[in-house]
Structure 1
Amino acid sequence: MKTFIKILLLFFLIPSALFATMYLSLGFLVSLHSTKPEKADVIVVLGGDNGPRIEKGIKLYKAGYAKNIVLTGIDSRYYSPSRPNWRERRMLEAGVPKKAITVDIWSETSWEEAENTADLMDKKGWNSALVVSDPPHMLRLYKTWKQSFEGSSKRYILVATKPKWWHPLFWWRDPFSKQFVLNEIKKNIYYMLAYY
C-alpha cells in the first residue's frame, strides 16, 4: 500500500500540483513587466482595444508625463487626417492638441509597432517612451521593445491599463481575460521563434 501511495504521489499528485501552479501563475508571468510611469518624450498608445488604452494615454498626457502621443494600430486603408478615427477623436475630445498626436498607420503587429516607433523616435529626436497596453500584453511587449531598442540609448517604460476584467491570479475566471492570456502565451512562443 505504501508503494502505491508513493507511486500515486510521484506520477499524479506532484505533477498535477506543478501544472496547477504553473497554470495559475501565467497571469503574473504575462503581466510582470508593467511599471509605474515616469516622465518621457512620448506616450505610445498601442492599438487593439476598445478604449481603456486611449483613456490611460489621455490620463498620462494630462498628468504631464509627455508632450507627445503616438497612436498605433490604425488601419491605413480607412484613415484620413481630415477624418480622424475614433481613437484620435477621443484624444481630441479630451483636450489633447492635434499637433501633439502622431498617427501610425503602418504597424499591423506588436513587432511593427516597436520597430516603427523606434524609427519615429529617431526622426523626432525622442529618447524615451511610455508604452500603454493591457496587462497580459506586457511580457511580449517587454521582449519586443527590448529587441527593437537594443544598441540604442532610447528607453521605454511599459504602463498597463487597469481593466475590470483583469486579475493576475484569477485571470482564468473571466472569459475575455482567459482568452487574452492563452493567446499571449501562443504569441510569445511565435515571437520567440520568429523574432528573438
Structure 2
Amino acid sequence: MTRRLLQFLRRLALLIAIVAVATLTLGLSGFLAAEPLLLVRSPPGHADVIVVLGGDGPRRAWRAAALYRAGVAPRVVVTGDGDCTWIRATMIESGVPPAAITIECASRNTWENAAFAAPILTQLGAQSAVLVTSWFHSRRAIACFRQASPQIRFLSAPVGPEFPFWRITADPDSPRVLLEYLKIGWYALRYGLVASVAAEERVV
C-alpha cells in the first residue's frame, strides 16, 4: 500500500467519523427536543367534534373512542385515505354509534386532511374540535387545521408515545419523529404554514 493511498484512507476514515458523530448529535438533539417542539396537548375540555386523522389507525381509533365515551364531543369526523373505514369500524367496535361518525376518505396528507375536513366541519356547525393524531404529529396537524378553518377553535388530544420521553429512541415511532422536523419545514415552504401554537398548549 502506497503512502499516498494510506493518507487518503486515513482522511476518508476521519471524514466518515466526523459525519457519523454529527449525524448522531443531530439525531439525539432531535429526540431531546421532540417533546417541547412537536407535542401539543390541550387542556381537557368539551368540543363539538372529535377529528381523527388517518394513519396509525388502531391507536388513534382507540383514543378517539375513549374521548367520545368520556363525553368530550357528540360527533366524530375521520379524515384520511387508506384506513378511514377501518378506523370507523374500530371506533364502532369500541362503543361509538355509527350515526355519530362521518368519514372523509380522499385526503392523502395532513394538509388535505385539514382542507377536505373543513366543509364537513362547517356543515356540522362545529365551533370547536379536538384533533386526535400521533403525539409527534400534533403540532403540524393543529397548525394545518387552524389555517384551513380559522373560525373553529381547535384543541389537541394526541396519542401519547409508547415509551417515556427519556427512552424515546426505543419507541418504534422514533424514525418518524426525526422525519417530522423535515415535514414541518416542507409544509412551511409548500403551504406557508407557521407550525406554532400558543405556548400554554405545548405540553399539559
Shorter-chain TM-score: which interval?
A: 0.7 to 0.9
Is the counterpart of residue 179 in structure 1 residue 175 in structure 2?
Answer: yes
Deviation (angstroms), 1:147: 1.6
1:1-196 equivalent positions in 2, closer than 5 A: 22-75=29-82, 85-150=85-150, 152=151, 154-164=152-162, 166-174=163-171, 176-196=172-192
3-state DSSP of counterpart to 2:154: strand
Deviation (angstroms), 1:159: 0.8
User: Relative CO higher for 1 or 2, CA cutoff 8 Å, sep ≥ 6?
Assistant: 1
3-state DSSP of counterpart to 2:173: helix
Deviation (angstroms), 1:94: 2.0
3-state DSSP of counterpart to 2:165: coil
1:99-144 deviation line (CA, Å, top 9, x unaligned): 1000111211111111122221112211111000111101211321
C-alpha RMSD of the superposition = 2.4
Residue 12 of structure 2 is matched in structure 1 by: none
Instruction: Note if contact 2:52-2:79 (Cα within 8 Å) is conserved in structure 1.
Output: yes
CA distance in 1, matches of 2:27, 2:159: 27
Instruction: Note if contact 1:30-1:137 (Cα within 8 Å) is conserved in structure 2.
Output: no
TM-score, normalisation: structure 2: 0.74
Query: CA 1:22–1:68 in 2, change beyond 3 Å: closer, same or farther?
Result: same
TM-score, normalisation: structure 1: 0.77
1:1-60 deviation line (CA, Å, top 9, x unaligned): xxxxxxxxxxxxxxx8x9688434331244332223311111011110041110010000
Query: Percent same amino acid at aligned positions?
Result: 31
Note the residue ranges of structure 1 that are not aligned, 5 or more in a row: 1-15, 80-84
Count of residues paired in the alignment? 170
1:170 alignment partner AA: R
CA distance in 1, matches of 2:95, 2:27: 47
CA distance in 1, matches of 2:119, 2:164: 34
Deviation (angstroms), 1:171: 2.0
